[in-house]
Amino acid sequence: MKRWLAALLVILGLAALPAAAAAAPDWTKVASKTASGAYVIGNPKAKVKLIEYLSYTCPHCGAFSVESAATLKDTFVKSGSTSIEVRNAVRDRVDLAAAQLARCAGPAGFSATTDAIFAQQQAWLPRAFDYDQINGARLASYPVGAQLKKIATGGGLDQMMRGRGMSDAAIDACFADEAGIAAIAKLSDASWKEVRSTPSFVLNGKPYEYKGWADLEKALRAAGAH
């Protein structure tokens, strides 16, 4: 191209520009389900693989979720260096109700829904436990899905899900999904054969003795998380 023509194109803003680099994926928005029913959040080929056994009614799990989120998910997972496999270890039927709602958000919504449940744990959990304690005998005569739906309503979990875009019809379908509820129970049974408490972790195939987020963060960085 002659110099005068190239200069004219620059002036007119028509000169070819370098192709923009492809945007890196946000791995926090990627999730897949394992054969056992657990959810893997992040890059399936991540160098650092963390397995987390959690309970939605576990205060320590709630504290871990809130304390670690900015670094674990928003940095390590987002970069693609780290993945988290979430395995339910259900402790009670309040926990089961929360777990079913989180999983009904689907792979794309599971991680953010889990974070929201834990972020608001101190608000909904006492209400759900109180409702279950007061109404437990009556609920026992209901089908399991109906029990969980009543508990979710008593604790305000259904309202939280509506705020996240889940319709009443979707909530009804969620608790009518007997196969989904059974899958959580099966996954949980397998989890409790591996761990004694929640949260518990496995880092790159080896059990990790949890001593707090600060210690785990150091272990993750040493393994290659960034």
Tell me the domain boundaries of the chain: 30-223
Is the pLDDT reported for residue 100 higher than 80?
yes
Q: How far is CA 84 from the centre of its chain?
A: 9
pLDDT at residue 25 in the model: 83
Inform me whether the pLDDT recorded for 224 exceeds 50: yes
What average pLDDT is seen over the chain?
92
Task: Give pLDDT tens digits for 164-218.
Answer: 999 999 999 999 999 999 999 999 999 999 999 999 999 999 999 999 999 999 9
Best CATH choice for the domain 30-223 from the list 3.40.30.10, 3.10.440.10, 1.10.287.3510, 3.50.50.60: 3.40.30.10
- Using CB atoms within 10 Å of the CB of residue 42, give its burial: 0 to 12 exposed, 13 to 18 middle, 19+ buried: buried
Identify residue 6 by its one-letter amino acid code.
A
pTM, two decimals, is 0.88
Given pLDDT bands bounded at 50, 70 and 90, which one contains residue 3? low
Q: Angle of helix 93-104 relative to helix 168-176, nearest 10 degrees?
A: 120
Check residue 8 and give its pLDDT. Answer: 43
